[in-house]
Amino acid sequence: MPELAEVEYYRKQWLPALNQTVTSVHLNSDKRVFRGLDCAALKQNLVHEKFIESLVHGKQLCLRFGDSHWLGVHLGMTGRMQVLQAGELPAKHDHLIIRMDSNLSLVFSDARMFGRILYSNHYLQPDWWAHRPPEILSPEYNFERVDAYFNRRTKSPVKAVLLVQEFFPGVGNWMADEILWRSRILPFRKCGKINMRERIELYKRIREVSEDAIRVIGSDWGRPPENWLFNHRWKSGGICPQTGKPLSRAKVGGRTSCWSPSWQS
């Protein structure tokens, strides 16, 4: 389920082991989450290194060890991160276990294995961390960028474009539906047909939903207020919190989308 705020929530789960040192790394290199990775290098080189920094950018996590070890974690659809106390045993889908000198263990789990582990041992930033688009809540993000993104995808449904990570880092399926619902714009509208007033509204709601998600979910995975679309969109039979009328669901841009026909146009 990880989007912007859920990824931040999971980043925090490893913080109890910050400034501790790796004693061993356990993994099964056959698992799909390690595709393309030099698992032997990860297992050997991370030992004796200190966990010094924990960063997040959109849905991408970057964990730094020592002065040249970069561990990337992408949570995919069902990825999770947690810390195991001494004596606690790994579970079925725990694919990467990093034991620390405190006897805590950092654990990455992922049932569906759409997630991915990345690793680089170099003083310079690896490509997967160096090449990042501006984050939605950063100072360099602005309306002109968003306007330009829509102009590059004029024939795509706006829902599909909101899911492009290069444009809207961290936005996932529920955030995109929430943004469109708050902007009162239907998900299948083509970007080229969205006028300036609507684009300005979308830009504001993109930032608003990102802030709200971080505040409500990113800290302790709290349940969002009932006046968000969030709590009503998951199952069919949901009701629009604005109009009290039924919500609609259908695939838009390849993803199940939920909208309120009595509210969005």
Partner DNA sequence: CTATTTGTTTATCC
Partner DNA sequence: AGGATAAACAAATA
Q: How far is the CB of 212 from DNA (least distance, A)?
A: 15
Kindly state whether residue 167 participates in binding DNA, applying the rule CB under 7 A.
Answer: no
Rule CB under 7 A: choose which of 40, 87, 89, 92 binds DNA: 92
What is the SS3 assignment for 122? coil
Residues with Cβ within 8 Å of 73's Cβ and at least 6 positions away in sequence, in order, are 60, 61, 62, 63, 79, 81, 108, 115, 116, 117, 118
Q: How far is the CB of 68 from DNA (least distance, A)?
A: 23
Rule CB under 7 A: choose which of 32, 48, 223, 245 binds DNA: 32
Kindly state whether residue 184 participates in binding DNA, applying the rule CB under 7 A.
Answer: no
Rule CB under 7 A: choose which of 54, 82, 102, 156 binds DNA: 156
Subset of 243-262 contacting DNA (CB under 7 A): 249, 251, 253-256
Kindly state whether residue 187 participates in binding DNA, applying the rule CB under 7 A.
Answer: no
Residues in contact with DNA, counted by CB under 7 A, come to a total of 35
- Sort strands 69-74 and 116-121 into parallel, antiparallel or unpaired: antiparallel
Q: Beta partners for 57?
A: 60
42-50, 110-118, 199-207, 220-228 -> range binding DNA (CB under 7 A):
110-118
Q: How far is the CB of 101 from DNA (least distance, A)?
A: 32
Residue located via tokens 């974690």: 73
Kindly state whether residue 200 participates in binding DNA, applying the rule CB under 7 A.
Answer: no
Look at residues 103, 207, 196, 214 and name the one whose alpha carbon lies nearest to residue 151. 196
Of the pair 98, 217, the CB lying nearest DNA is at: 217
Of the pair 155, 197, the CB lying nearest DNA is at: 155
Residue located via tokens 């993803």: 255
Rule CB under 7 A: choose which of 11, 59, 99, 182 binds DNA: 59
Subset of 5-24 contacting DNA (CB under 7 A): 6
Enumerate long-range contacts of 99-105, CB under 8 Å, 24 or more apart.
Answer: 99/22, 99/23, 99/24, 99/25, 99/26, 100/17, 100/20, 100/21, 100/22, 100/23, 100/51, 101/20, 101/21, 101/22, 101/23, 102/17, 102/20, 104/16, 104/17, 104/20
Q: What are phi and psi of 70, to 5 degrees?
A: -120, 115
Kindly state whether residue 168 participates in binding DNA, applying the rule CB under 7 A.
Answer: no
Contacts to DNA by CB under 7 A: 1-3, 6, 32, 58-59, 74, 76-77, 92-93, 111-114, 152-157, 160, 163, 165, 172-174, 234, 249, 251, 253-256
